[in-house]
Amino acid sequence: MRQIFFDTETTGLRAEAGDRIIEIGCLEMVNRQLTGNKLHLYLNPERPSDPDAIRIHGLTDEFLADKPKFAEIADELLDFLRDAELVIHNAAFDIGFMNAELKRLKRPPINDIVGGVRDTLLMARDLFPGKANSLDALCKRLEVDNSSRTLHGALLDAELLAEVYVRLTRGQDSLVIDESSGNESAAPGEIQVEAVDFSQFELAVITASDTEMLAHQAVLAELDKASGGKRIWQESAV
């Protein structure tokens, strides 16, 4: 599955009132592995940014004045996003802005271009009801380092979102929960976990390379030296 972690920065909060996109960050993941393929764009919004927005993202009108307009990068962006699943935190906001930009160009909405949209804010609200579920709050809860996030930035936020998403969905494919099994023996409130026949899986056996074995021997030698030969484990005879 090809996924794009997607984020925008804007001149303000209301696309319907004419606010525009000024930064786009996209990060590609295929089968839960980051590929290193990314797209990062600054845009001239053709209008001033709200002072409150500038305090959040730090992108001044002067900085954006010589950047391309959305119309100039639309094809490049849509080609990058085409058929992928977009993963967005608070997707309604970014999708609303994207569709407003595309409408100005008389293009179809973004939902007609991509394969789907997944909202991590809705996912987090299901997993952590009643708790703060901003990107910063999730980084703290899921132990994702966001110390470099002094200002909001589209690419940085997309990178943080990728880390958050992987941790939100960790184990999702291996734990099958069946809440409607009707098992009468279960105590009230207990979750029934479907039994899995692990014999059907063939586990790969990965052996150390010669280089790794030499490095391991060197570490053992250092441990022996540091402990005065009192290392309590020894290598098994082969």
pLDDT at 174: 31
The domain segmentation of the chain, as residue ranges, is 2-168
Full-model pTM:
0.70
Please say if the pLDDT value at position 235 is more than 50: yes
Which of 153, 160, 139, 161 lies closest to 25 in space, CA to CA? 153
Catalytic residue set: 152
pLDDT at 190: 47
When pLDDT is cut at 50, 70 and 90, the band that residue 215 belongs to is confident
Question: Per-residue pLDDT tens for 106-151?
Answer: 999 999 999 999 999 999 999 999 999 999 999 999 999 888 776 7
> For residue 197, what pLDDT is reported?
57
pLDDT score for 185: 45
Q: 211 pLDDT band (50/70/90 cuts)?
A: confident
Mean pLDDT to the nearest integer, 177-205? 50
By CB neighbour count within 10 A (0-12 exposed, 13-18 middle, 19+ buried), where does 96 fall? middle
Give yes or no for residue 157 having a pLDDT over 60: yes
Over range 45-51, report the average pLDDT.
96
Q: 42 and 19 in contact (C-beta within 8 Å)?
A: no
Superfamily per CATH, domain 2-168: Ribonuclease H-like superfamily/Ribonuclease H (3.30.420.10)
